[in-house]
Structure 1
Amino acid sequence: MSAQELITEHLDLWTGAVSKKSSSGRGSNGKVELTGVKKLRELILELAVRGKLVEQDPAEEPARALLERVRAEKLRLVKQGEIKKPRKLPGLSELTIPFPLPENWEWAQLEDVGRDWSQKTPSSDFSYIDVASVDNLRGVTTQASILSADEAPSRARKVVHRGTLIYSTVRPYLQNIAVVEREIEPEPIASTAFAILYPLSGMPARFFLHYLRSPVFVKYVESVQTGIAYPAINDKQFFSGVVPIPPLEEQHRIVQKVDELMALCDRLEQQTSDQLEAHKTLVDTLLGTLTQSENATELADNWARLAAHFDTLFTTEQSIDKLKQAILRLAFMGLLSSPSRPDPCEAVILDEATSYRSKSGNTAGEHSRLSRFNEDEVPFDIPERWQWVKLGQLFEITSSKRVHARDYVSAGVPFYRSKEIGELQAGRSISTDLFISKERYEELSKQSGFPTEGDLMLTSVGTIGNTWIADGRAFYYKDGNITKISKTPRFEMRLLQHFIKSPVFRQAATSTVSGTAYNALTIVKLKNIPVPLIPLREQELILKKVDELMVLCDQLKERLNQASATRCQLAEAIVEQGLSA
Structure 2
Amino acid sequence: MDAQQFLAEFKHIAHAPEGVAKLREMIYQLAVTGSLTPRSEAGDNAGDLLIGIEVTRQRLILEKKYKCIPKLENEPVQAPSDVELPQSWRWTRLLDIGEINPRNQAPDEEVAAFIPMRGIPQFHHDALVAETRKWGEIKRGYTHFANGDVILAKITPCFENGKSAAVSDIPGDLGIGAGTTELHVFRPVHEGVLPDYVYIYLRSPFFTNEGKKSMTGTAGQKRLSVDYFATRAFPLPPTEEQGRIVAKVDELMALCDKLEMQKKEYRRLQNALRQATLKTVSSAGSPHELQESWATLEENFEQLFSAPEDVKQLKGTLLDLAVSGRLFPRERWRECSGLELLESISNARRHWAECSEGQEYKEAKSMLKKLRAQHANVPASQLPEHWAWATLLQVSQAVVDCHNKTAPYVTDGIPLVRTTDICDGQMNLSNTKRVSEETYAYWARRMPPKSGDIFFSREAPMGEAAIVPEGEKVCLGQRMMLIRLFPSLFNNRFLLYVILSPSFQEQMLGTAVGMAVKHLRVGGVEGLMVPVPPKPEQDQIVEAVDYLFEICDAYTGQLNSKQKKAETFAMTAVSTLTGITTGQEEEQPVKAPHTELVAKLCLGQTPDIKTQAPLATVLARHDGEMSAKNLWQRFGGEIDAFYAQLKTEISHGWILEPEPAEVREVGSEEDGA
Partner of 2:658: none
Residue 377 of structure 2 is aligned with which of 374, 377, 393? 374
- CA contact under 8 A between 2:456 and 2:483: conserved in structure 1? yes
When the two chains are superposed, the root-mean-square deviation of aligned CA atoms in Å is: 2.9
Alpha-carbon shift at residue 218 of structure 1 (Å): 1.3
Instruction: Return the offset for 1:168.
Output: 2.1
| Equivalent residue for 1:66, pick from 49, 54, 61 | 49
- In 2, distance between residues paired with 1:505 and 1:435? 32
**2: CA distance between counterparts of 1:143 and 1:411?**
50
- Tell me the secondary structure at the aligned position of residue 463 of structure 2: coil
Correspondence 1:344 to 2:353: no
| CA gap 1:320/1:410 in 2 versus in 1, 3 angstroms | closer
Q: Which amino acid aligns with 2:185?
A: I
* Counterpart secondary structure, 2:21: helix
Q: Which structure would you say has the larger RCO, counting Cα contacts within 8 Å and 6 or more residues apart?
A: 1
**Relative to structure 1, is the Cα distance of residues 38 and 294 closer, same or farther in structure 2, using a 3 angstrom cutoff?**
same
**Residue of structure 1 in register with 2:592 after alignment:** none
Give the whole-Å Cα distance in 2 for the aligned partners of 1:300 and 1:95.
67
State the Cα distance separating 1:165 from its structure 2 match: 1.4
**TM-score under structure 2 length normalisation:** 0.76
What is residue 115 of structure 2 aligned with on the other side? 129
Secondary structure of the 1:173 match is: coil
Corresponding residue of 2:435: 435
Give 1:4 deviation, angstroms.
9.2
Instruction: Name the SS of the counterpart of 2:59 in structure 1.
Output: helix
Whether 1:55 and 2:38 are equivalent positions in the alignment is yes
Q: Identify the residue that residue 61 of structure 2 maps to in structure 1.
A: 78
Would the aligned equivalents of 2:308 and 2:556 in 1 still touch at CA under 8 Å?
A: yes
- AA matched with 1:399: D
Distance of 1:483 and 1:455 partners within structure 2: 10
* Structure 2 contact 424–464 (Cα < 8 Å) conserved: no
Quote the residue 1:398 is aligned against: 400
Distance apart, 1:474 and its partner CA: 4.4
**2:182 aligned to 171, 183, 193, which one?**
193
Partner of 2:384: 383
Cα drift, residue 221 of structure 1: 2.3
Shift in alpha-carbon separation, 1:53–1:390, aligned structure 2, 3 A: same
CA distance in structure 2 between the partners assigned to 1:530 and 1:421 by the alignment: 22
Q: Using the alignment, how far apart are the partners of 1:503 and 1:259 within structure 2?
A: 45
1:106 and 1:462, CA in 2 relative to 1: closer, same or farther beyond 3 A? same
Question: Counterpart amino acid of 1:316?
Answer: A
Change in CA separation of 1:136 and 1:452 when aligned onto 2, cut-off 3 Å:
closer
Q: 1:144 to 1:443 in 2, by over 3 A?
A: closer
Aligned amino acid, residue 376 of structure 2: F
Task: Answer whether contact 2:454 2:492 (CA < 8 A) is retained.
Answer: yes
Match of residue 227, structure 1, among 218, 226, 241: 218
Identity %: 25
TM-score by length of 1: 0.87
Q: Cα 1:73–1:152, aligned 2, differ >3 Å: closer, same or farther?
A: closer
1:275-294 equivalences under 5 Å are 275-294=266-285
- Tell me the SS of whatever aligns to 1:57: coil
Match of 1:217 among 204, 207, 214: 207
Distance 1:524 1:95 in 2: 70
1:1-56 per-residue CA deviation (whole Å, 9 max, x = no partner) reads x89999555434223213xxxxxxxxxxxxxxxx1111111111111111111122
Deviation of the 1:117 alpha carbon: 5.0
Alignment of 1:177-576 (within 5 A): 177-182=164-169, 184-187=171-174, 188-191=176-179, 192-199=181-188, 200-225=190-215, 226-338=217-329, 339-358=331-350, 359=352, 361-362=363-364, 363=366, 364-370=368-374, 372-374=375-377, 378=379, 380-395=381-396, 396-401=398-403, 405-406=407-408, 408-422=409-423, 425=426, 430-437=430-437, 441=440, 447-488=445-486, 489-515=488-514, 518-576=517-575
Aligned residue type for 2:395: L
Shift of 1:442: 5.4
Q: Secondary structure at the match of 2:270?
A: helix
Give the whole-Å Cα distance in 1 for the aligned partners of 2:480 and 2:170: 58
Q: Which moved more, 1:132-141 or 1:564-573?
A: 132-141
Q: What code does the residue aligned with 1:366 have?
A: K
Question: For the structure 1 residues 121 and 197, does the alpha-carbon distance in structure 2 shift closer, same or farther, using more than 3 Å as the test?
Answer: same
Residue 449 of structure 2 contacts residue 476 of structure 2 at CA under 8 Å; is this kept in 1? no
* Secondary structure of 2:22's aligned partner: helix
The 3-state SS of whatever aligns with 2:108 is coil
Partner of 2:636: none
CA contact (8 A) 1:391 1:527 kept: yes
Q: In the alignment, is the contact (CA less than 8 A) between 1:416 and 1:475 conserved in 2? A: no
Using the alignment, how far apart are the partners of 1:287 and 1:349 within structure 2? 32
Residue number in structure 2 paired with 1:21: none
8 Å CA contact 1:121–1:157 kept in 2: the answer is no
**Inter-partner Cα distance in structure 2 for 1:13 and 1:480:** 48
Report deviation, 1:93. Answer: 5.3
Summarize the Cα distance change of 1:266–1:435 in structure 2 as closer, same or farther, 3 Å threshold: same
Cα offset, 1:207, TM superposition: 0.9
> 1:77: Cα distance to partner?
1.1
Q: Displacement of 1:253 after TM fit?
A: 1.4
- Mapped partners of 2:221, 2:335: distance in 1: 62
CA contact (8 A) 2:146 2:177 kept: yes
Deviation of the 1:86 alpha carbon? 4.1
Q: How does 1:154-173 map to 2 (within 5 A)?
A: 154-156=140-142, 158-161=144-147, 163-171=148-156, 172-173=159-160
- Distance change (3 Å), C-alpha of 1:543 and 1:173: same
Question: Equivalent residue of 2:71, what SS?
Answer: coil
Q: Could you say if the C-alpha distance between residues 474 and 284 of structure 1 is closer, same or farther in structure 2, counting changes exceeding 3 Å?
A: closer
**One-letter identity of the residue aligned with 1:272:** K
Matching residue's letter, 2:370: E
Q: Which residue identity does 2:348 align to in structure 1?
A: Y
Retained in 1: the 8 A contact 2:281–2:290?
yes
- Secondary structure of 1:101's counterpart equals coil
Which residue identity is paired with 1:388? W
Q: Following the alignment from structure 2 to structure 1, what is the Cα–Cα distance between the partners of residues 38 and 273?
A: 46
Amino acid at match of 1:373: A
Per the TM alignment, residue 336 of structure 1 is displaced from its structure 2 partner at its CA by 0.5
Residue-by-residue CA offset, 1:342-397 (whole Å, 9 max, x unaligned): 33322221122233344164213112453x3335xx16222222222211221221
Given residue 178 of structure 2, which amino acid in structure 1 is its aligned partner? Answer: A
Instruction: Provide the secondary structure at the position in 1 that maps to 2:520.
Output: coil
